[in-house]
Amino acid sequence: MAMIHTGDGPDDVRLHVQRLSPPDGRPPTATAVLLHGLLTDSLASWYFTVAPDLAAAGLEVVMYDQRGHGRSERPDSGYRLDAFVTDLERLLDRLEITGPVHLMGNCFGATVAFGYAVRHPERVAGICAIEAKPATESWLTEISGIFRRVVAELLGHEAESLAWLSAHRGAHTARLAKQAARLVRTTSIAEDIPESRTVSEEQLRRVRCPVLAVYGADSDLAGQEGWLESVLPGTRTVVLPGQGHWVLAEAPKHIRELLLSWTREPGAGAPAAVAPLEADAP
């Protein structure tokens, strides 16, 4: 574990970083940077699912808690998408990781990955986007609606909401919701994210690397694969039957297999759909 400063000026933020290397001192075949989602997420969602297996397969794995999340610093303001992209940019510079990296993002983490690839297409070997989309106008509309609901439903009736979650979704889910409520209540994230800059299709076409897009068949995002493939011809899509938005947590074994195959042959793509999943466990 390490705490890394992203800069030396007033916009510096301390990020909690974890790195996993291949066993037995083997040199890594590539570097994978794992990016988590917003509010209830942290690097733990990667650490306890696929990260150790990626390292065992020969990858150098870098994970970090994004600003405001997990053990990273929680500034009062500065939560527009560009700030998260700049954090990734500066962190890689601080870690002296200059070669092309595989960016693997869950939900908002993949939106950050796309933003970084638009800025630095030459520094990205590939993007794996799990239940995510780039920062288009439709993304901004959707995420703004999510934050309106969070503010109205969670903060507006916090005690009742947390009690309901504890009773119906378990204590762990309630704890995550409590952390999310604190982040929204004590920072400007609910105002900043909806004010983020979007990217155009022309800007997205700067992304030349292979893209693996993974969706749950029951997710609201599952219908966008045709559009993403039309904008980024290097995109291949996997749709997981019987899964919703939380595919990383609920189907980790399958995600591991997809990522390991993809990093070995990133240009080979992936099938448009797979057979129904059997019961899965971390």
From CA 38, how far away is CA 190, in angstroms rounded? 11
List beta partners, residue 106.
130
14-44: pLDDT as tens digits: 999 999 999 988 899 999 999 999 998 999 9
Q: Is 23 exposed, middle or buried (0-12, 13-18, 19+ CB in 10 A)?
A: exposed
CATH architecture of 2-134+198-264: 3-Layer(aba) Sandwich (3.40)
Both tokens of residue 40? 């209830």
**pTM to 2 decimal places:** 0.90
Termini Cα distance of the chain: 22
Q: What is the pLDDT of residue 177?
A: 78
Residue 266 in this model has a pLDDT that exceeds 60:
no
213-237 pLDDT, tens digit each: 999 999 888 777 688 999 998 899 9
- 135: Cβ–Cβ under 8 A, 6 or more apart, which residues? 81, 111, 114, 115, 196, 197, 198, 199
Can you give the pLDDT at residue 151? Answer: 86
What does pLDDT average to over the chain?
A: 88
pLDDT of residue 227: 87
pLDDT at position 272? 36
The pLDDT score that the predictor gives to residue 271 is 33
Residue 20, both tokens:
């996993």
Residue 118: CB partners within 8 Å, gap ≥ 6?
Answer: 199, 203, 204, 206, 207
Query: For the chain, how big is the Rg over CA atoms in Å?
Result: 18
| Degrees, nearest 5: CA angle 14-16-162 | 105
Q: What is the mean pLDDT of residues 182-190?
A: 93
What confidence tens digit (pLDDT) does each residue in 188-197 have?
A: 999 999 999 9
Q: What is the mean pLDDT of residues 67-76?
A: 96
Which pLDDT does position 268 carry in this prediction?
38
Phi/psi for 237 (5° steps) reads: -115, 140
